[in-house]
Structure formats: C-alpha cells, structure tokens
Amino acid sequence: MRNLIAYLPTAAIFLGLDLIWLALIAKPFYRSQLQPLLAERFYAPAAAIFYLLYPVGLCIFVVWPALRSGGAARAMLDGALFGFFAYMTYDLSNLATLRGWPLKLTLVDVGWGTLASGAAAAAGVYLARLLG
C-alpha cells in the first residue's frame, strides 16, 4: 500500500509539471524546434503509457529506496539523475538518428527532464511520508 501511496503523488506531480511545461511555458519553443517533425495528430495512447510508466521507473529506482533509507533531498538528487539519463538517452538517440533534430532542443529537454524528475521524486517521497 505504501508503494501505491508513493506512486500516485509522484505520477500526478510529474504529469502536472510536464503539462504546465509543455502546454503553457515551452509550447512555442518545442513547436518552433520540431515543426517539420510533428505528427498531424497527437497520439494520446503513447502519451498515456509514458505518463503511467515513467513514474513507475522513478518509484522503483528513486522514490521507494528514498522512503527506506533517505529522504526528499536524496530523492531530488537521485530523481534528477534518473531524469537526466532517461531524457539524455531519448534526446541523444534522436540527435544521432533523426534528420533535423535540434541540439538546442536536446539541451532544453534534458534540462527539463532533469528538473521535473527530481521535483516529482522529492514531492513523491515527501507526500508519501505525509500520507502514509
């Protein structure tokens, strides 16, 4: 039960932060960088799977260990590292294989993934301790 209590706020906070980032703050930037690569229609199932599973990874590798032997500060650091490596893998793979993938986008996206993952993991630990 404690794992579910930790997963739910971690997932909700990551989703909320990413929606604010993508829809309100960085939308024009991403659109300008990816315009020729954007799909005509948004494919919601892929996004739903990502937003369900990425927080599972955060929980398995960061949040649940921090609940056992760390705290929110440790979760923030480890979550930021998890986000850095996950987003770096995605963005550098795209930079290496896709024509037109911008380096500027890679740098911004990796920075965002690092920040959002660290914040979501720390908040997940904090709220799991508060609620559990």
- From first to last of its 132 residues, the chain has per-residue pLDDT tens of 888 999 999 999 999 999 999 999 999 999 999 998 889 898 999 999 999 999 999 999 999 999 999 899 999 999 999 999 999 999 999 999 999 999 999 999 999 999 999 999 999 999 999 987
Phi, psi dihedrals of residue 61, rounded to the nearest 5°: -95, -15
Per-residue confidence (pLDDT) for residue 132, from 0 to 100: 78
pTM summary value: 0.95
Q: How far is CA 126 from CA 74, 99, 115, in A?
A: 11, 42, 17
The answer to whether 100 and 36 are in contact (CB under 8 A) is: yes
Q: How far is CA 102 from CA 18, 43, 63, 64, 109, in A?
A: 20, 22, 32, 35, 11
C-alpha–C-alpha distance, residues 120 and 55, integer Å: 9
Per-residue confidence (pLDDT) for residue 114, from 0 to 100: 98
Domain boundaries, given as residue ranges, for the chain:
2-131
Per-residue confidence (pLDDT) for residue 102, from 0 to 100: 96
Alpha helices (H) along the chain: 2-19, 27-34, 44-58, 64-69, 72-97, 103-131
